[in-house]
Amino acid sequence: MRHLSVLTGILVLDKDLGMSSMRAVEIARRRAGRAKAGHAGTLDPLATGVLVVAFGRATKAIDRLMATEKGYETDVDLSAFTTTDDREGERREVAVAAPPAREAVERALAGFTGEIMQKPPAFSAIHVGGKRAYALARNDAPPDLPPRKVMVHEIALVKYEWPIATVAIRSGKGFYVRSLARDLGLALGTGGHCASLRRTAVGPFTLKLAKRLEDLPEHIDESCVIPLETALGAMDELTARPQPASPHDAPDGPRGS
């Protein structure tokens, strides 16, 4: 009988474009001797960046890892909406008399800070009547998902050159970057979809700690992972760190869907 690996710890991957999160975990698990494994938050195939993989006893901390804040950087294309709110869907071009100024984009983004109500994308993994929302949407029956309360700790316009606005975000659990792209367009009277997405952090686990699968050895052992106790300590330290106050933090967010 083949014995499974008892490897325990956290592996921070920099997921490649075009690969599903489950495929990345499958490859890492095979290299880790078929150790028990799971990940702390899905990244779509069109997204890249931090994917936290837990091995062994660390899988018991997955719920806690998923509840931590996340960091993202996205390119929002303001020239069109799409059916999926990213570049995979069918485009619907939006005619704009004059592109919004940088100041207008910054003002619109400021409205999305704090606790807000956000409508998830129709193409999402949310359960609707026992089925995934994306399955219904693929069958030409996209569900009208109700807005949900999410937290945006920080948001900033990194670069703007029409029609692309590059935005950095630090958010809480359940936040959809694709919804932000769509809603930013609605706020500006333009289009809006996510042209690219890179997750820069999951809690204390950042791109600086991340490794690409191609750079990992064929056999993943203790030298490749963060010990569980070290990982939990880093999470505790982040939780205890004072958070900067935002002038837009309010119980009732300024926007819904």
Residues with a catalytic annotation lie at: 44
DSSP-assigned letters across all residues of 122-170: SSS--EETTEEHHHHHHTT----PPPEEEEEEEEEEEEEETTEEEEEEE
User: In what helix (H) or strand (E) does residue 62 lie, and over which residues does it extend?
Assistant: helix 62-66
Cβ atoms of 38 and 172 closer than 8 Å: no
User: In what helix (H) or strand (E) does residue 233 lie, and over which residues does it extend?
Assistant: helix 228-240
State phi, psi for 162 to the nearest 5 degrees.
-45, 130
User: In what helix (H) or strand (E) does residue 27 lie, and over which residues does it extend?
Assistant: helix 21-31
State phi, psi for 50 to the nearest 5 degrees.
-65, 120
